[in-house]
Structure 1
Amino acid sequence: MDPTFATSAPLVEKIRPYPRKADSWIMSQIKELTLTSSPLDLTGSCDITHDSPAIVFSAGGYTGNIYHDFIDGFIPLFITANSIYPDRDFIIVVVNPKEWWMPRYMDVLGAFSKHKTILLENENASSITHCFTSAVVGLISHGPMTINPTQLPNSRSLVDFHYLLDEAFNTNLSTFKTQKPRLILVSRYGNNVGRVILNEEKIREMLEDVGFEVIIFRPSKTTSLKEAYKLIKSSHGMVGVHGAALTHLLFLRPGSVLVQIVPLGLGWVAKTCFESPAKAMKLEYTEYRVNVGESSLIEKYSEDDLVLKDPIAFRGVDWNATKMNVYLKEQDVRLDVNRFRQHMNKAYEKAKSFMDIDG
Structure 2
Amino acid sequence: MVTQSKTPAEPSTTMPTATAVKGVVAKTLAHHYQAVAGFLFGFFLVLLLYSFLSGHLGSGDAIVRAVTQQSTPAVHTDQKGRTTSPTSPMSLSSNTTQVHGVGNNLERDNGQKNDASKKIGEDTEHNVHGTDKNNQGQGCSKFDNLEGKYTEQSSQPPVNDASDKMEEELIQQDIDQAGTRNETNVKHGAPRKPICDLSDPRYDVCEISGDARTMGSNRTILYVPPVGERGADSHDWSIRDQSRKYLEYINKVTVRSLNASASQAAPGCTSRHAVPAVVFAMNGLTSNPWHDFSDVLIPLFLSTRAFEGEVQFLVSDLKPWFVDKYRLILTNLSRYDIVDFNQDAGVRCYPHVIVGLRSHRDLGIDPARAPRNYTLLDFRLYIREVYSLPPAGVDIPFKDKEATRATATGQRRPRAMLINRGRTRKFVNFQEIAAAVEAAGFEVLPIEPRRDFRIEEFSRIVDSCDVLMGAHGAGLTNFFFLRTNAVMLQVVPWGHMEHPSMVFYGGPAREMGLRDVEYSIAAEESTLYDKYGKDHPAITDPESIHKQGWQFGMKYYWIEQDIKLNVTRFAPTLQQVIQMLRE
TM score, norm. by length of structure 2? 0.55
Q: Deviations over 1:234-257 (max 9, x none)?
A: 211100001111111111112100
3-state DSSP of counterpart to 1:109: helix
The equivalent position to 1:204 in structure 2, one of 434, 453, 470, is 434
Contact 1:295 1:334 in 2 (8 A): yes
Pick closer, same or farther for the CA change 1:43–1:315 going to 2, 3 Å: closer
- Which residue is 1:17 aligned to? 241
3-state DSSP of counterpart to 2:351: coil
Q: Does 1:113 align with 2:334?
A: yes
- Which residue is 1:357 aligned to? none
- Superposed, which structure 2 residues align to 1:40-189 within 5 Å? 43-82=266-305, 85-120=306-341, 123=342, 125-171=343-389, 177=403, 179-189=412-422
Pick closer, same or farther for the CA change 1:50–1:11 going to 2, 3 Å: farther
Pick closer, same or farther for the CA change 1:86–1:98 going to 2, 3 Å: closer
3-state DSSP of counterpart to 2:238: strand
3-state DSSP of counterpart to 2:373: coil
CA distance in structure 1 between the aligned counterparts of 2:266 and 2:227, rounded to whole angstroms: 16
Q: CA deviation at 1:206?
A: 1.3
Contact 1:159 1:254 in 2 (8 A): no
Contact 2:302 2:371 in 1 (8 A): no
- Which residue is 1:345 aligned to? 575
Which consecutive unaligned segments of at least 5 residues does structure 2 have? Answer: 1-183, 185-225, 398-402, 405-411
- Which residue is 1:356 aligned to? none
The equivalent position to 1:292 in structure 2, one of 520, 523, 527, is 523
Q: CA deviation at 1:126?
A: 3.6
The equivalent position to 2:251 in structure 1, one of 23, 27, 31, is 31
Q: CA deviation at 1:159?
A: 1.0
CA distance in structure 2 between the aligned counterparts of 1:331 and 1:43, rounded to whole angstroms: 57
- Which residue is 2:425 aligned to? 195
Amino acid at match of 1:349: Q
Pick closer, same or farther for the CA change 1:153–1:43 going to 2, 3 Å: closer
CA distance in structure 1 between the aligned counterparts of 2:428 and 2:522, rounded to whole angstroms: 15
RMSD, matched Cα? 2.5
Mean Cα displacement is larger for which, 102-111 or 299-308? 299-308
CA distance in structure 1 between the aligned counterparts of 2:234 and 2:384, rounded to whole angstroms: 42
Q: Does 1:250 align with 2:474?
A: no
The structure with higher relative contact order (CA 8 Å, sep 6+) is 1
Q: Deviations over 1:3-59 (max 9, x none)?
A: 34369787554332022223xxx32x3232233456989645323221111122111
CA distance in structure 1 between the aligned counterparts of 2:370 and 2:581, rounded to whole angstroms: 32
Contact 2:420 2:448 in 1 (8 A): yes
Pick closer, same or farther for the CA change 1:226–1:348 going to 2, 3 Å: same
Q: CA deviation at 1:223?
A: 0.9
Mean Cα displacement is larger for which, 297-306 or 240-249? 297-306
TM score, norm. by length of structure 1? 0.87
- Which residue is 1:319 aligned to? 550
Which consecutive unaligned segments of at least 5 residues does structure 1 have? Answer: 354-359
Q: CA deviation at 1:349?
A: 2.1
Contact 1:111 1:165 in 2 (8 A): no
The equivalent position to 2:460 in structure 1, one of 230, 234, 238, is 230
Amino acid at match of 2:450: S
Q: Does 1:277 align with 2:508?
A: yes
- Which residue is 2:27 aligned to? none
CA distance in structure 2 between the aligned counterparts of 1:50 and 1:11, rounded to whole angstroms: 24
- Which residue is 2:227 aligned to? 3
Mean Cα displacement is larger for which, 31-40 or 293-302? 31-40
Q: Deviations over 1:84-114 (max 9, x none)?
A: x444422222211222111111101122233
Amino acid at match of 2:487: V
- Which residue is 1:335 aligned to? 565
Mean Cα displacement is larger for which, 137-146 or 149-158? 149-158
Mean Cα displacement is larger for which, 292-301 or 311-320? 311-320
Q: CA deviation at 1:71?
A: 0.6
Contact 1:59 1:95 in 2 (8 A): yes
Pick closer, same or farther for the CA change 1:233–1:208 going to 2, 3 Å: same
Mean Cα displacement is larger for which, 31-40 or 59-68? 31-40
From the CA coordinates, give the structure whose radius of gyration is larger: 2
